[in-house]
Amino acid sequence: MRYNLTKHKILKVLADKLTSGMSDDGKAEGVIVVPKKEIINLIGKNKKLYAVIISELSACNEIKYLESSDSFIIETNIGLSAYSNKKYLDKNWGIILGWLKNFAQIFIPIVSLFIAALALWIKIEMQNDMQNNKIQEIESRIESIEKLEYKKQESTKNDGIDTLNLR
């Protein structure tokens, strides 16, 4: 990803140098090359990164190394086209969108599974609460029935005692 952004920066520097060194009729009047040191400063001191980026740009014929002046120049047609069409920025966005797509394809099912498990757990808890409420209601009814039955037995005992006392 960093490679693509750096390639675009290099093409921008080279394209700016080319257009600033050209006359109105399209002929080179001034300096249209960029020294190697400037490209190295743009990339950084990482030799591997420098080698990879420069070799890829050279292989695509987008830039050209001039050994005599130890500098780089943009290949007019291909390099300017790659810069103006934002070839490497588009590749960069393609990578980012690919990562987002992969993330979404993994993340959404996991979140869906979590939500489904949570909904199932909540439903089970609600059913347990309802059953517990019904059990408590039944227990309270049984308790009230037992109290009534106990009172009935007590009242019949009391009636039996009263009748015995009257005789």
**Alpha-carbon span 63 to 49, nearest angstrom:** 16
Question: Are 162 and 122 members of one domain?
Answer: yes
What's the CATH number where 50 sits? Answer: 1.10.10
Question: Are 49 and 78 members of one domain?
Answer: yes
Which phi and psi angles does 34 have, rounded to 5°? -115, 125
Q: Which domain holds residue 159?
A: 102-167
Q: Tell me the pTM.
A: 0.66
Percent of the chain with pLDDT strictly greater than 70 = 92
Question: Are 81 and 114 members of one domain?
Answer: no
**Alpha-carbon span 120 to 91, nearest angstrom:** 43
Q: What's the number of domains the chain is made of?
A: 2
Which phi and psi angles does 163 have, rounded to 5°? -70, -30
**Alpha-carbon span 12 to 39, nearest angstrom:** 11
Give the E-state strand segments of 59-167 in sequence order: 63-66, 71-74
The pLDDT tens digits for 93-149 are 999 999 999 999 999 999 999 999 999 999 999 999 999 999 999 999 999 999 999
Q: State which of 56, 85, 114 marks the end of a domain.
A: 85
Question: Are 78 and 122 members of one domain?
Answer: no
Question: Are 140 and 81 members of one domain?
Answer: no
Amino acid identity of 124? I
The pLDDT tens digits for 16-26 are 888 887 777 76
